[in-house]
Amino acid sequence: MGPNVIMFGWNRPLPGREGISGLHFQEFAEYLSVQKRNGLVESFDTVFLEPHGGTLNGLFLIRGEPAKLTQLTGSHDWVRHQTRAMHHLDGSTSVRGYTGAAIPERMEQWMKEIPK
């Protein structure tokens, strides 16, 4: 099974770009809602982390079928949103990952690779 989640995270808005970041945040959430209605995304959660001194302070956790997430991240609109985010966010990052039913498979593979 391929990656079934995408974590799009950020540290904070770049100084002077807070307004742009707030507007883009709303636009990106609406974009994900449309992708959910269209069946490309199963669900997504928005997470704001409590202050902790780290470089990840918020994220969208986007869930879906691996092939559909590949389709999503290959789309013009996804690339446009990611490019926009790089212009106003410090530490914007997008990472594919595994959750739910994919975890036992990944753990089994990990256990097989432990040196003996």
74-111 per-position pLDDT tens digit? 999 999 999 999 999 999 999 999 999 899 999 999 99
For 16-32, give one letter per residue: b (16+ CB within 10 A) or e: eeeeebeebbeebeebb
Instruction: For each of the domains in the chain, give its residue range(s) and CATH number, in order of start.
Output: 5-112 (3.30.70.100)
Q: Is 79 exposed, middle or buried (0-12, 13-18, 19+ CB in 10 A)?
A: exposed
Q: Which pLDDT score is estimated for 27?
A: 98
Q: Which pLDDT score is estimated for 2?
A: 85
Q: Which pLDDT score is estimated for 7?
A: 98
Q: Decide if 22 contacts 90 (C-beta within 8 A).
A: no
Split at pLDDT 50, 70, 90, the class of 60 is very high
> In terms of pTM, does the model score above 0.85?
yes
Split at pLDDT 50, 70, 90, the class of 70 is very high
Q: What is the pLDDT of residues 18-58, one digit of tens each?
A: 999 999 999 999 999 999 999 999 999 999 999 999 999 99
- Tokens, residue 98: 């595994």
Split at pLDDT 50, 70, 90, the class of 1 is confident
